Amino acid sequence: MAKELVSRDQVRVEDTWDLSAMYESKDAWEADIKFIEEKLAEISKYQGKVCESAENLLSVLETSAITEEKFELAFNYAERIFDQDQGNTEHQSMSQRMFALYAKISAATAFVSPEILACDAAVIDGFIASKPELELYRLQIKEIQRLKAHTLSAEMEKVVAMTQEMANTPSEVYSAFKNVDMTFPAIKDENGEEVVLTDGRFVPMLMSADRRVREDAFKAYYGVYEKYLNTMASIYNGEVKQHIFNSRVRNYSSNLEAAVDANNVSPQVYDNLVKTVNANLDKLHAYVSLRKKCLGVDELHMYDIYTSMIPDAAKTVKYEEAQKTICEALAVLGDDYVDLLKEGFANRWIDVYENKGKRGGAYSATAYGVHPYMLLNYTDTFDDMFTTAHEMGHSMHSYYSNQAQPYIYSGYKIFVAEVASTCNEILLLEYLLKNCTDKKEKAYLLNHYLDSFKGTVFRQTQFAEFEKTTNEMVEAGENLNSENLCKLYKEINEKYYGPDMISDDEIAYEWARIPHFYYNFYVYQYATSFCAAVAIADMILKEGAPAVERYKKFLSSGCTDAPVELLKIAGVDLTTPAPIEAALAKMGEIIKELEKII
């Protein structure tokens, strides 16, 4: 009998998140939606009058901030309750209402930025001087002015805002199709028992020491995707096209430029990453060669890339053990940091295990004024412990930033979002290596370190290169289809993994299962953040308190400066290739260290 996933009502309450910190009831949520609608009506009265006086400017900015803060809370509640069981139609409706309300807010406030931009900067400076309460909004106004060349007239901004609900359709269809409608077959596990494949179980199956299980899982899983490649290609093509509409209407030269400029990052940072990683593919090729040697196989296949190179060293890590180890490893960040970790573990910030209809993967999300929430799909693996540490890094970043900054500056840019999470992972790994006395266990940990480089720097840059190329194809007038997407993906895969890897036919379908391709040039930031985190963790372990103080200042900075500048507070300069080159040099050193041990 195949092992089926439990339904949501069968999950222990202690293993679920407690959403009551946001709202005690749906009625309270509805009340906030009504409040938001009322505030939108207030804002609309200022259309054409935003800069008539300092009082008007202050009122518009204050009311907009209050409205957005309430929306963030309502949105987070709806999305968290939806993600715990995406098959629940009531929760689907709540989620859809939030996206509709977001579009309404965008349309209703679309006139604000254009009117501020139309106002002489000297006049605004005079307003701030005459009304001290406006000083709070100086940085916000400066950011609006930075985007002047890409801000439209009030009327056009309203039209563009009205397209947002429609623009979400490709990602909504993808999510529903992938997480709810797609079903996978059962395969036999190591014990000969039938287990139904799911998104959450796929990678753990590929981590199996039994090669037959890995191959069966790989072929069965991608066999399902193969059936739907045309559908997936159409959905992705629609996603890219809606970004092209937005980038062109805002006078950007490309989707890439529009996406990174939203975070005040130059496209050169993106291109620099791809270029530097491509110049260091020899490190990944050496890793692949070492993996082939360790596994003792004549041919290394893509289904061999997740299993440990060190046989019989993998161990299960129960959730309770993971919590304890994470707290010990991150003690270098101070008692206040560890106390917050313990509070999160003890007070149901986290939805721990997989259930039927639950969104796959893992994330941390937060709304201002309440603690962060984390979604996991914990399966007692070593990697799951690192995922927990990773998401806790996001949660701590949000917590520190929310505590230190007013709402309008609390949300850090996506570019720095992966730094704190990855820093946690690296500190955990360094702690385990330091306290390891067993040669085989040390080899296993070094293998994990290498896998982190492979998965976060090389794999995410591989995704970034694919995403950049596919966007350029559509921008040049070419439609994306299953044939050209599969061909491109396989070619890039072969380049990255090199001659010692067999790029199986099925790997050409992998693009169809990557949800981050619907996040609009997100993935490159995993790679840049990993390299920054390597540097920060190294400083924390070598310098101690001074580096920790700098790091916490960075965590508390929200969006008070350009993200590249904020990273400089922590001691990292990503305007140069140096952090990327240094991180990849470290990978080379780890490969040599592991070669000596084995």
Catalytic residues: 391
Helix then strand then coil, % of the chain, to nearest 5: 70, 5, 25
- Please name the residue that has the structure tokens 């395969």: 187
Mapped onto helix, strand or coil, the DSSP state of residue 392 is helix
Tell me if 358 sits within 8 A of 180, measured CB to CB: no
Single-letter residue type at 88: N
Report d(CA 479, CA 161) in Å as an integer.
25
227-257: burial string, b at 16+ Cβ within 10 Å, e else:
ebbeebbbbbbbbbbbbbebbebbebebbbb
390-269-274 Cα angle (round to 5): 80
Q: CA of 130: how far to CAs of 55, 141, 146, 151, in Å? A: 10, 16, 23, 27
307-333: burial string, b at 16+ Cβ within 10 Å, e else:
bbbbeebbeebebeebbebbbebbebb
Q: CA of 365: how far to CAs of 99, 181, 290, 351, 482, in Å? A: 17, 25, 38, 12, 33
Token readout for 17 is 């998140």
Q: Where are the alpha helices (DSSP H) in 373-456?
A: 382-404, 407-410, 414-434, 439-452
